[in-house]
Structure 1
């Protein structure tokens, strides 16, 4: 059962330091701030498009000041959501699930994209297929993150597991933007790479695709990123949540109708955050492995959670009742 008092206590202690407040009535004439969180990854392109095109601003209205905050991983994003530092945004389903189970008041209110997770190996590592990964070192953004679970689920089905659960693979973590330099230094053998970083490493350091998006577990069904907000926002400011979702849906539709422009916006958005200017041909390659959609299937989320439990990332088999809320995307 969710421990709602955890969120209440954290909020009570830290509300004075929160960047954005949602305590004002939605009809108030005073200006308030809504902060949107996202990552510098391709599957978060809807947030970058919405930011560049001022879609959130258009939907929320002139009395709402919209700010944006980027994060290196899901753990820091979810902490910001729990403390009211952000009011919503895009995050991997894994961190959202883990926090829901641990008692943080969070709901998925839409998807952002599917696909985009690619397992690549370092040139010279001798790894050409999944059989060669046994005993090697792999990297993911965080332990138990979305890309980690996808990879470890696939490998477990092949009979290979990480040292964490008695297997042979060594697991390290790091930001995807650093994968290329770690490959160049020989620090890691395999990367669970969210796009566009897989395509970057293919182009820059001759990385080999070992497990493509179409083959990795949940590769084409699981949302690579989901839109989330807090229970507090839904219960006390549902009108504003609807406007956030409407802006997000507009961004997804714009991406699908204007892919060339959306690619340029995403390249610029990633460069602003990471100082890495990606080549357009690299982004086009990454784009082909990604499908942008705001639709989300609760059954797939449950299956992914069950797999996280099987891999011992979770102590109990999860019950996601009340976690996926599709009422805003209808």
Structure 2
């Protein structure tokens, strides 16, 4: 005899009700979790960074970095974010480190920054402030008195594609000379580390170099070189950017507060340099000695400081020209620089002090 398992209708109704309620609760919970997940995804974490890794050069054209590091101004502005600094010789190598994620921010010449931005279609970095304008020259052996004397000569620049390298190649092109990125041409250009350039010039193995300060002054004061071209003479109002402050785009998105703090530290260092000129040489030399074990002579550092202007303004109007120069000499490629400058943190800081905004040049 077969037994039929019949449930009480009321029990079945209650059971169905409990199941429906459980399903409804599960659906509601899933929806809530999805909503929270979506909100979290659309609102990235922007906490201050634990560490900021900064690149710079031991050059007078990187004065805000040197003073900011030696005096503790940059670390003070960053607060609990630990500042870690690394020395470079020229911009292209520094860009490689930034692109590889080895550093987060850098004091650098504008040409490598522009080149990186164009190559990455705007994804690699942002210029967030200026640092130094002016302070680069073509210095040559005393026997060279004009561009016509340079044919067949050997000149140096800090590194292929760096800001001074582009300036040298374009100026030579404007004088009718052909140069190649391989180094050959009517004038040979050997990208050379600055300290080695000084040594080679002293022994007569180089006829000159296009250099930033203090290296141009070192060749003039310490090695008897003469200035053939002061780069300031080639620019409107004799103003051109030599050093800017950049941050990786990824770091800026993740840690805008830290970038704003870095911009403030840079501004504080610039203010100190411009209001403490008698003490500036001493503090700069302290940093150079800490890094290299050597200081600059009074004659060299005073001359170098007379050639530069420390400023938050990155001179945005110069950037289209810098792009065209790099393209013309084969060290850069054409492309848009729209969005290259993000001066929002800088201009917010300036507004708090009652200062006018610095233009991004409509780039």
**Secondary structure of the corresponding residue to residue 214 of structure 1:** helix
Size of the aligned set, in residue pairs, is 301
- For residues 192 and 164 of structure 2, the distance between their equivalents in structure 1, rounded to whole angstroms, comes to 12
Residue 57 of structure 2 corresponds to which residue in structure 1?
A: 39
- For residues 41 and 219 of structure 1, the distance between their equivalents in structure 2, rounded to whole angstroms, comes to 24
Residue 139 of structure 1 corresponds to which residue in structure 2?
A: 156
Per the TM alignment, residue 274 of structure 1 is displaced from its structure 2 partner at its CA by: 3.3
**Secondary structure of the corresponding residue to residue 192 of structure 1:** strand
**Secondary structure of the corresponding residue to residue 26 of structure 1:** coil
- For residues 163 and 32 of structure 1, the distance between their equivalents in structure 2, rounded to whole angstroms, comes to 44
- For residues 270 and 191 of structure 1, the distance between their equivalents in structure 2, rounded to whole angstroms, comes to 22
1:89 to 85, 106, 110: 106
Unaligned runs of at least 5 residues, structure 1: 1-22
Per the TM alignment, residue 217 of structure 1 is displaced from its structure 2 partner at its CA by: 5.6
Q: How does 1:196-211 map to 2 (within 5 A)?
A: 196-211=214-229
Per the TM alignment, residue 24 of structure 1 is displaced from its structure 2 partner at its CA by: 7.6
- For residues 51 and 195 of structure 1, the distance between their equivalents in structure 2, rounded to whole angstroms, comes to 19
Residue 39 of structure 2 corresponds to which residue in structure 1?
A: none
> RMSD of the TM alignment (CA)?
2.1
**Secondary structure of the corresponding residue to residue 321 of structure 1:** coil
- For residues 253 and 46 of structure 2, the distance between their equivalents in structure 1, rounded to whole angstroms, comes to 12
Summarize deviations over 1:188-216 as a string: whole Å, max 9, x none. 11111111111111111111111123324
Residue 141 of structure 2 corresponds to which residue in structure 1?
A: 122
Residue 344 of structure 2 corresponds to which residue in structure 1?
A: 327
Q: Which has the higher helix share?
A: 2
Residue 195 of structure 2 corresponds to which residue in structure 1?
A: 177
Residue 298 of structure 2 corresponds to which residue in structure 1?
A: 280
Please tell me whether the aligned partners of residues 70 and 286 of structure 2 are also in contact (alpha carbons under 8 angstroms): no
**Secondary structure of the corresponding residue to residue 253 of structure 2:** helix
Per the TM alignment, residue 84 of structure 1 is displaced from its structure 2 partner at its CA by: 2.4
* TM-score normalised per structure 2: 0.78
- Does residue 59 of structure 1 match 2:77? yes
Please tell me whether the aligned partners of residues 218 and 304 of structure 1 are also in contact (alpha carbons under 8 angstroms): no
- Does residue 168 of structure 1 match 2:186? yes
- Does residue 26 of structure 1 match 2:57? no
Question: In terms of Rg, which structure is larger?
Answer: 2
Alpha-carbon spacing, 1:317–1:74, altered in 2? closer, same or farther (3 Å): same
- For residues 53 and 263 of structure 1, the distance between their equivalents in structure 2, rounded to whole angstroms, comes to 13
- Does residue 99 of structure 1 match 2:116? yes
Summarize deviations over 1:60-93 as a string: whole Å, max 9, x none. 21x2211211112212211221232222120111
Please tell me whether the aligned partners of residues 221 and 299 of structure 2 are also in contact (alpha carbons under 8 angstroms): no
Unaligned runs of at least 5 residues, structure 2: 1-43, 348-363
- For residues 179 and 217 of structure 1, the distance between their equivalents in structure 2, rounded to whole angstroms, comes to 26
